[in-house]
Structure 1
Amino acid sequence: MYENYFFTYVCWKYSTVADFNIQEFLDKKVLQFNQPDFIPNDPIVIPHLFTKKQDIEIMGFFASILAWGQRKTIINKCKELIERFNGSPHEFIVGHADEDLKQLLGFKHRTFNEVDLLYFVAFLRFHYTHFDSLEDAFLLGTEEGQPFTMESALNHFKDYFFSLPDYPIRTRKHVSAPRQKSSCKRLNMYLRWMVRQDQQGVDFGIWKRIQPADLICPCDVHVERVARRFGLLTADKLNWKTAVELTDNLKAFDPSDPVKYDFALFGLGVEGEI
């Protein structure tokens, strides 16, 4: 069905299918979807509720980790979490007393529950006692003088995240890593939010040590489906290699900012244009 709609559109827009330019089409769709009106109905609205850098980082992280299911539900659960943090996530995380943790009990979103939340809070408190930004958590695995690679960064991030003693085994499933053959969709989406910056103001661009060219395109079902229609994906299974393949193909369009096309692929998939 989608394929028929696509070729109907192409035949109407272009004199022949051969005249169709994928990059030109996707560039237009980036401009269409990468707009402030994208924000209210997407989980990225959650970090946009804040101006303090650490609050943006923290709630962006939670919004990305909880980003499965209906977007409206994700947004509502994140707002509930903000209320449990007394409206100030960073202040709560670094300054809470043990008694304050009781107000986190009972939180649940799908398979993410209070056990997972308490560990996330413990890790974030540990991290922010040593670093000013959560960006450092993704850079600790890069040796001085060595080039940054996202695969290495995400593998090390998981090791670092679960470096506290007696972490709950069940919580490991909520933080993915390339070595597990995961596409790491949620973490790649989070990194896009924090690293990319342009005039549209959807992504934040508050992290400067990781470059947009280093990012890997988040691959969800919408992005995957549309990317396959355009021949940007050939691998059968959705995994880390798939995400890298897609990103490499998008770099042919814009090597310095390939993941901007996430707006186009995701938007086309959600809107049902492809």
Structure 2
Amino acid sequence: MKLNQLKLFLDEKAELYNQPKFIGTDPIQIPRKFILKEDIEIAGFLIASFAWGNRKSIINNGNKLLQIMGQSPHDFVMNYKAKSPKYNFVHRTFNSDDLHYFFQGLKHIYTNHDGLEEVFMKNQKEKFLMPAIHNFKNLFFELPHLKRTEKHVSDPLKNSACKRINMYLRWMIRNDNNGVDFGIWKHLAPSKLSCPLDVHSGKIARELKLLKRKQNDAKAVLELDTKLRKLDPKDPVKYDFALFGLNAFEDF
């Protein structure tokens, strides 16, 4: 398939799946319950951090998490203390100890680093957000913590594809005017976003010759990003909807 034909095909599929009707089966519905920017940011970050496995289970645990936070994520986090009791919470390998630190880490980001958006705004001169993700992880884990908890925030400079955090950044930065992605972070360009590479998008990207690398890692993300920017340099990650939808909904 020639580049112009591929673009037309993927543009059509992106438009098909970048629609609110699919939110009912997507973890983005959790932050969609809020209006306040900080509530959206925090709920989105938390649900994205354990968004792997069965989607129904992810969403159920996301709703359980909102109950723990009293439906007020920002207020809850800002009043959280290191000596607060741990809540009974488990999603696969993400457990109560991890959640306990995540609450502390988020409070630290808002108290000492002016919030999540401000942290990711650093390294503005870079073409991609990989250095910003690395910087965020370093700041997030500045407080004393269990080493095991670090695995729940991936680092592209350690060759991770960072699927979950790239998905979160898509939610926050990309404004599609369709009522799916939020676009509440106005100081970061969608052109810098990376595709949330997973088993679905990776499979289709390889079938469409957009990706040669076999492993889903940071090198594969960079390879795919480069190709997607040729299709749309201003909004390359809109094709995440197309690649995911072709496999998850059409079994392309």
Matched, 1:72 2:60: no
| Aligned residue in 2 for 1:216 | 194
User: C-alpha distance in 1, partners of 2:3/2:157?
Assistant: 40
User: C-alpha distance in 1, partners of 2:155/2:102?
Assistant: 17
Tell whether the 8 Å contact from 2:191 to 2:233 is kept in structure 1 after alignment: yes
User: C-alpha distance in 2, partners of 1:202/1:261?
Assistant: 14
- Shift of the alpha carbon at 1:273? 3.6
User: C-alpha distance in 1, partners of 2:177/2:108?
Assistant: 34
Give the ranges of 4+ consecutive aligned residues of structure 1 lying more than 4 Å apart after TM superposition. Answer: 17-20
Tell whether the 8 Å contact from 2:128 to 2:194 is kept in structure 1 after alignment: no
Give TM-score scaled by structure 1 length: 0.87
Q: 1:60-99 residue pairs with structure 2 within 5 A? A: 60-96=44-80
Distance 1:273 1:163, change over 3 A: same
Matched, 1:127 2:125: no
Amino acid at match of 2:197: C
- Shift of the alpha carbon at 1:148? 5.5
Matched, 1:249 2:227: yes
Contiguous gaps of at least 5 residues in structure 1: 1-16
**Residue among 130, 146, 156 paired with 1:151:** 130
Amino acid at match of 1:76: N
Distance 1:95 1:20, change over 3 A: closer
Q: Which moved more, 1:131-140 or 1:211-220?
A: 131-140
Tell whether the 8 Å contact from 2:159 to 2:217 is kept in structure 1 after alignment: yes
User: C-alpha distance in 2, partners of 1:215/1:112?
Assistant: 26
| Aligned residue in 1 for 2:38 | 54
| Aligned residue in 2 for 1:175 | 153
| Aligned residue in 1 for 2:98 | 116
User: C-alpha distance in 1, partners of 2:187/2:177?
Assistant: 19
Deviation digits for residues 232-252 of structure 1, max 9, x if unmatched? 001121110101111110111
User: C-alpha distance in 2, partners of 1:107/1:19?
Assistant: 47
CA-based RMSD of the aligned residues comes to 1.8
Structure of larger gyration radius: 1
- Shift of the alpha carbon at 1:158? 1.3
**Residue among 2, 8, 11 paired with 1:27:** 11
**Residue among 87, 94, 100 paired with 1:105:** 87
Contiguous gaps of at least 5 residues in structure 2: none
Q: Which moved more, 1:24-33 or 1:123-132?
A: 123-132
Identity %: 46
Q: What secondary structure does 2:161 align onto?
A: coil
Aligned length in residues = 252
Give TM-score scaled by structure 2 length: 0.94
Amino acid at match of 1:56: I
Distance 1:131 1:79, change over 3 A: same
User: C-alpha distance in 2, partners of 1:63/1:97?
Assistant: 21
Tell whether the 8 Å contact from 2:109 to 2:116 is kept in structure 1 after alignment: yes
- Shift of the alpha carbon at 1:24? 0.7
| Aligned residue in 1 for 2:237 | 259
